[in-house]
Amino acid sequence: MNKLKRQISLDFVSDLKYTEFCVLVFSFIRKILNIDDDIYFKIEISLREVINNAIIHGNKSDPNKRVHVILKWTKAKLWLMVKDENEEKVDFREINKRLENHDLLAFHGRGIMIIKSYMDKVRFISTDTGTEIILEKHL
């Protein structure tokens, strides 16, 4: 399989019904890569969380804003890239600080803690045109 066939891009309006669609697409990739149940569960939960965050917290469920998702893979690794169209810069240092204090009751941040524990690498990029979260999992 050439590299161009190892990537799927999705682009949709800020509606939670598209989270299920993305999970369905990921289940297709699971079959291609023969991902075991435990790893699949961790990736699926992380994918749901990051997409829901992009819709609810990033785009504030604004139907005029879009969510951009790229699923990219090799036999050894999977990347999930999710970007919202939030024009406000997110202070991930502040979120990480609350997480270090184990503030599990905080309104923001619990999902990030789950994602960080389930994925091998998580990167946050906040710009004037949106917030992008890149998740990486070794298979």
Instruction: Give 127's Cβ-side CA count (13 Å radius).
Output: 8
Judge whether residue 110 has pLDDT over 90.
Answer: no
Q: For the chain, what is the domain count?
A: 1
Token pair of 66 as six digits: 């879009």
The angle subtended at Cα 39 by Cα 71 and Cα 6, nearest 5°, is: 25
Does residue 105 belong to any structural domain of this protein?
A: yes
Does residue 1 belong to any structural domain of this protein?
A: no
- Name the residue range of residue 74's domain: 8-138
Positions of E strands within the chain: 7-13, 66-73, 77-83, 121-127, 130-138
Q: Report percent pLDDT > 90 for the chain.
A: 73
CATH code, 116: 3.30.565.10
pLDDT (mean) for 40-55: 97
Condensed to tens digits (0 to 9), the pLDDT of residues 55-83 reads 999 999 999 999 999 999 999 999 999 99
- DSSP-derived pairing of the beta strands 66-73 and 130-138: unpaired
Does residue 3 belong to any structural domain of this protein?
A: no
Pick 87 or 83 by higher pLDDT. 83
Does residue 13 belong to any structural domain of this protein?
A: yes
What pTM, to 2 d.p., does this model score? Answer: 0.86
